[in-house]
């Protein structure tokens, strides 16, 4: 078995518990839990034992230990994950035109494909179908409601009689 890596935690137990109560994300709480476990075991723990006590993978435990060793608590609690700030594919003028068109009772599109073609003609921008569909569902809670065609062999008299009596004949 590998020799446990001994890391001396510079912060006190009360400092870590106060810091723990101020954390908003679960990841930050787990990182402080890791330090609390390391504080309980000054002789050190190997990465597998540490990961079981904290409830994380052994690779994550090893990575967090190295982060703390190199930069202290500030480096450990720094959130270096990226993402979430992607600009919208649909520009503001197109969004406002979509808003007006969707909420117009007479000119409302009957399908997402129809709206997609309208945007291509009016603005010269080809939007992917699913991008437009997801935008409309997310922002406007839209669903295309198209009247379905009646069957060609449907007997209107039989349908009227069914509605009156509630039975077929």
Pair (73, 98) in one structural domain: no
Q: Is residue 126 part of a domain?
A: yes
Residue-averaged pLDDT of the chain? 84
Q: Is residue 158 part of a domain?
A: no
Pair (73, 96) in one structural domain: no
Q: Is residue 87 part of a domain?
A: no
Q: Is residue 156 part of a domain?
A: no
Task: Give CA separation, 37 vs 53, 63, 117, 157, in Å.
Answer: 7, 15, 60, 80
Q: What is the pLDDT of residues 104-139, one digit of tens each?
A: 877 788 888 999 999 999 999 999 999 999 999 888
d(CA 144, CA 147): 10
d(CA 32, CA 49): 16
Q: Is residue 162 part of a domain?
A: no
d(CA 86, CA 72): 31
3-state helix, strand, coil split of the chain in percent (to 5) is: 60, 0, 40
Pair (55, 105) in one structural domain: no
Q: In this structure, what are the phi and psi dihedrals at residue 125, rounded to the nearest 5 degrees?
A: -120, 125
Q: What is the pLDDT of residue 131?
A: 92
Q: Is residue 106 part of a domain?
A: yes
Pair (65, 103) in one structural domain: no
Q: What is the pLDDT of residue 128?
A: 93
Q: Is residue 84 part of a domain?
A: no
Its domain, for residue 131, covers 92-140
Pair (127, 71) in one structural domain: no
Pair (104, 72) in one structural domain: no
Q: How many domains does the chain have?
A: 2
Q: What is the pLDDT of residues 22-69, one digit of tens each?
A: 988 888 899 999 999 989 988 888 888 889 999 999 999 989 989 988
Q: Is the pTM here over 0.75, yes or no?
A: no
Q: What is the pLDDT of residues 75-90, one digit of tens each?
A: 888 876 666 677 888 9
User: What is the Cα Rg of the chain in Å?
Assistant: 31
Pair (62, 18) in one structural domain: yes
Q: Is residue 99 part of a domain?
A: yes
């Amino acid at each position: 078995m590998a020799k446990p890596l001994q890391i001396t935690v510079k912060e006190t137990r009360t400092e870590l518990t106060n810091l723990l109560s101020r954390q908003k994300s679960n990841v930050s709480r787990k990182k402080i839990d890791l330090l609390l476990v390391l504080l309980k075991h000054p002789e050190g723990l190997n990465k597998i034992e540490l990961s079981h006590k904290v409830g994380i993978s052994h690779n994550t435990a090893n990575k967090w230990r190295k982060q703390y060793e190199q930069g202290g608590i500030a480096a450990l609690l720094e959130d270096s994950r990226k993402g979430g700030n992607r600009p919208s594919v649909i520009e503001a003028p197109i969004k406002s035109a979509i808003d007006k068109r969707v909420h117009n009772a007479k000119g409302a599109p009957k399908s997402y494909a129809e709206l997609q073609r309208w945007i291509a003609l009016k603005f010269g921008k080809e939007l992917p179908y699913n991008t437009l569909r997801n935008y409309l569902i997310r922002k406007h809670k839209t669903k295309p409601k198209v009247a379905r065609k009646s069957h060609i062999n449907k007997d209107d008299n039989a349908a009227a009689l069914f509605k009156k009596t509630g039975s077929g004949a």
